[in-house]
Chains A and B, each alone.
Chain A
Amino acid sequence: MKLKFIAAALTALIPGMALADWPERPVTIVVPAGAGGGTDATARMLAERLREKFGVPFNVVNQGQGGGVVGINTIKSADPDGYTIGVIYNFAHYAPMGQADFNADDFTAIAQYNFDPAGFNVRADSEWNTIGEALDAIKAAPDAYSIACGGGCGGSWPIATATLMSQWGVDLSQVRIIAGQGAAGALQDMVAGGFDVVPTSVPEAGPLIQAGRIKSLAVFGDARLAAFPDIPTLAEEVGLELSLGAWRGVVGPMGLDQDVAAELEAAIGDIVEDETWQNQMSERGFGIQWRDADGFSEFMKSEEISVREIVSTLGL
């Protein structure tokens, strides 16, 4: 009895050893975002399915403090024993902006399950009717327009817009990117005349688009969104094959046991194929994108390089 206890204690202490029985107890999914938001919603949908698959609870723990810094740090510094994993999203900007020291190498990639393209929103009465007109105008006078970033200015939507502008040859160092009060706050501020452009996910802007207050000139994805068939893609409008926006995936701390990672990867792969889960996601306006562990790891590394370039040009 005592021996058994010591063995169990040792197993807990030495990562990667004797994890064959994983999971023996509930698994914690750290969500670096507050309860009720988009990242939280997707994580809970995933957690529910993972519980069904493995027969132990997958408990969502929200740590949204400091724009996610606290939660991401919890994932990074967790024991790699498979009992703490996390949902992660665009995080490459934290390090160059001096907010936290996170690198793609700090995490074991498990799988990406979501991607939401950015939308380029302007006021309904804006003089721009196409993304091409908007980009040309901004290129001609980069400091004449104010562009809002919903949350942090290094986050997914402003970086997507900045990447597009840099491809168009806009002088990024002159562009005025201004912090707004969250996506909803920034959109409302734009309606009130405060901003010229507010990039967000299209579903976030949906109610105001339907109300005829704002228009979205382009969606930064491969195809038009089913829920917003009138918004053209960048490829259609300006011939740029770009896929820019927010992504979400599951990771563990560095050094996570390979077998555990593989089991989770396979399980999430099954979930992403599941039709009811897909419906649940699309009902709430979330896009689905699958990348396996290797693809996801590659993606995070390449994004780290490109985002950090943009951040330094913007001077954030």
Chain B
Amino acid sequence: MVAFNSLMLLLEPSTMLVIIGCAIYGLVVGAIPGFTATMAVALLVPMTYFLDPVPALAGIVTLAAMAIFAGDIPGALLRMPGTPASAAYADESFQMARRGEAETALGTSLVASALGGIFGALLLIFAAPALAEISLSFSSFEYFWLACLGLVAAIAASNATPAKGAISLFIGLTIGMVGLDPVFGQQRFTFGNVNLVGGLAFIPVLIGLFAVSEAFRFGASPVARPEMLPLKPAAMFKGVFGHIGRLKLPILRGGIIGSVVGAIPGAGADIAAYISYAVARRLSPNKDKFGTGTVDGIVPATAANNAAVGGALIPATVFGIPGDSLTAVIIGVLYMKGLNPGPTVFLMQPTLLYAVFIAFLIANIVLVPFGFGAIVMFRRILSAPPGVVMALVIMACIVGAFAVENTTFAIAVMLGAGLLGYYLEENEFPLAPVILGIVLGPILESTFLASLAKSQGAFTEFFSRPIAGTLGATTIALVIAPLVYVLIKSRRQAT
């Protein structure tokens, strides 16, 4: 009955119009490199003042689902992830597109995204309270180990030699150290410059590393730009379902990883995609093909990042704790619309809340036709001369960097990051570990110091809590196992 009433709320013509508008907006913004789903939602918030709760919230969750997928499109065709969530496998799909398999890459990615999103939405609807329960028992000890796991995954997920991956990671960790330290609030690497007190902001650095560096590369050797990759929309779903059928299990695994990681506060779609990619790489029978462009790498990660949105909405609605920055903005809108997140909202306003959940489910289903449209249109936009496109990209990057930070300094940071990204790429250092270092560094530092302060210096506390102990043992095993393996192998060879 509640479900029926909720559906009726959504079928209002004006609500439908808002949802469709938000879907298109989400696809366009998500497809523009440097514009994140979080930013798309944040830009929409002022407009939600004028809307009723159902269209406002249904529109926002639709936008989120669309934007996360749309990030895959420039990832494949330009090698610039449209949103950070697509960064984990942008290179993978780009390699495919370069071989002329852009249709397969994007078609499979689209269907897998929708499946992952549907999985997340169903989990949100049915298992919300139980899952929130799990992530709610995480203290700084567990977060510390999660961050460690992430760092290990950052190196494991990169294609370069572990040494180059580690160097990239440390560059990221260093970038993350600039500004006020997260525990004592002391200035670090600021050189007395007030702009640096705020640190090197994440979005401008991301835009610089992934998008501006690409434009620089084009500027340096304009002829050798193979980015105008052929794409025949008609052929898009050819062979796709064969891949999907073959990869049922990895998709399911991606959905589960995505939902769980998304539900953990602080870790969002981007980290979910990285972890899912790393897990798939370890478990896949075709692991040697990873990094050369294979759907086996794209599918689990793209399913995970769409599932993460549903996962992140779980603690957001049940306890009012955001799963990531995107849901943090959504929580703001929930409050604004009088739907104060908390267990009581499930009892007091179930119709309204479930209308939002159902809208999210539907958004992930209609993602397939909408996403297809976006791919076709995106292609048309990028048929423009590459010089013009790159100029537009730079412009979008500058606007995006400024819009997020509201400082001209952010533009300088972005251009500097662009130079760094260009230099790293030219020398075959992977970029993804840089980003993970920036994200995880402050988490690692603050959770480590907070944990030690809580336990008054006793390291045993990192293992005495059951979940922390398990995570810790897993992390250490992941680091030590390959070393032991190498050691045993070399001993055998020696004898």
Measured CB to CB, the residues of A under 8 A from B are 35-37, 41, 44, 61-63, 65-67, 69-70, 73, 97-100, 146, 152-154, 176, 178-181, 184-185, 187-189, 191-195, 206-208, 210-211, 213, 283-285, 316
Contacts and interface: CB of A to CB of B under 8 A. Distances in A.
Give 3 nearest A-B pairs by CB, closest first.
A65-B198, A207-B342, A207-B320
Contacts of A36: 42, 45, 328-329, 332
B118 to A, nearest CB: 27
Interface stretch (B66-74, B176-184, B283-291): B176-184
B288 to A, nearest CB: 39
Given A184-B265, A185-B265, A193-B139, A41 B332 contact: yes
B198 A191 contact: no
Nearest to B183: A179
A66 B197 contact: yes
Nearest to A45: B49
Interface string B189-204: 0000011011101000
Given A41-B332, A70-B407, A189-B139, A206 B342 contact: yes
Nearest to A61: B406
A210 B342 contact: yes
B186 interface: yes
Given A36-B329, A99-B197, A153-B185, A192 B180 contact: no
Contacts of B63: none
10 contacts: A63-B406, A63-B407, A67-B180, A69-B194, A98-B186, A153-B184, A181-B140, A181-B443, A184-B265, A211-B319
A68 to B, nearest CB: 9
Given A63-B407, A65-B199, A189-B140, A179 B182 contact: yes
Given A35-B42, A63-B407, A184-B320, A73 B194 contact: yes
A65 B197 contact: yes
Contact of B340 (A100, A194, A207, A316): A207
Given A146-B453, A188-B265, A192-B137, 13 more contacts: A36-B328, A63-B198, A66-B179, A66-B198, A98-B186, A99-B186, A153-B185, A178-B454, A194-B139, A194-B451, A210-B343, A283-B338, A316-B185
B46 A44 contact: yes
A78 to B, nearest CB: 13
Interface string B331-344: 01001101011111
Given A180-B450, A184-B322, A208-B319, A35 B335 contact: no
Contacts of A178: 450, 453-454
B218 interface: no
A35 B187 CA distance: 24
A227 B406 CA distance: 35
B446 interface: yes
B382 interface: no
Contacts of A35: 42, 45, 329
A181 B266 contact: yes
A316 B185 CA distance: 9
Contacts of B340: 206-207
B266 A185 contact: yes
Contacts of A284: 335-336
A67 B185 contact: yes
Interface string B127-166: 0000000001111111100000000000000000000000
A316 B183 CA distance: 10
A191 B449 CA distance: 19
B211 interface: no
B321 interface: yes
B12 interface: no
B405 interface: yes
B42 A66 contact: no
Contacts of A184: 265, 320-322
A45 to B, nearest CB: 9
Contacts of A154: 185
Interface in B301-352: 319-322, 328-329, 332, 335-336, 338, 340-344
A70 B266 contact: no
A69 B183 contact: no
B144 to A, nearest CB: 11
A192 B466 CA distance: 12
B139 A69 contact: no
A206 B341 CA distance: 9
Interface string B439-463: 0000100110111011010000000
A191 to B, nearest CB: 6
Contacts of A192: 136-139, 142
Contacts of A41: 332, 336
Contacts of B329: 35-36
Given A36-B42, A100-B197, A211-B319, A65 B141 contact: no
B320 A206 contact: yes
A184 B315 CA distance: 11
B7 to A, nearest CB: 27
A294 to B, nearest CB: 30
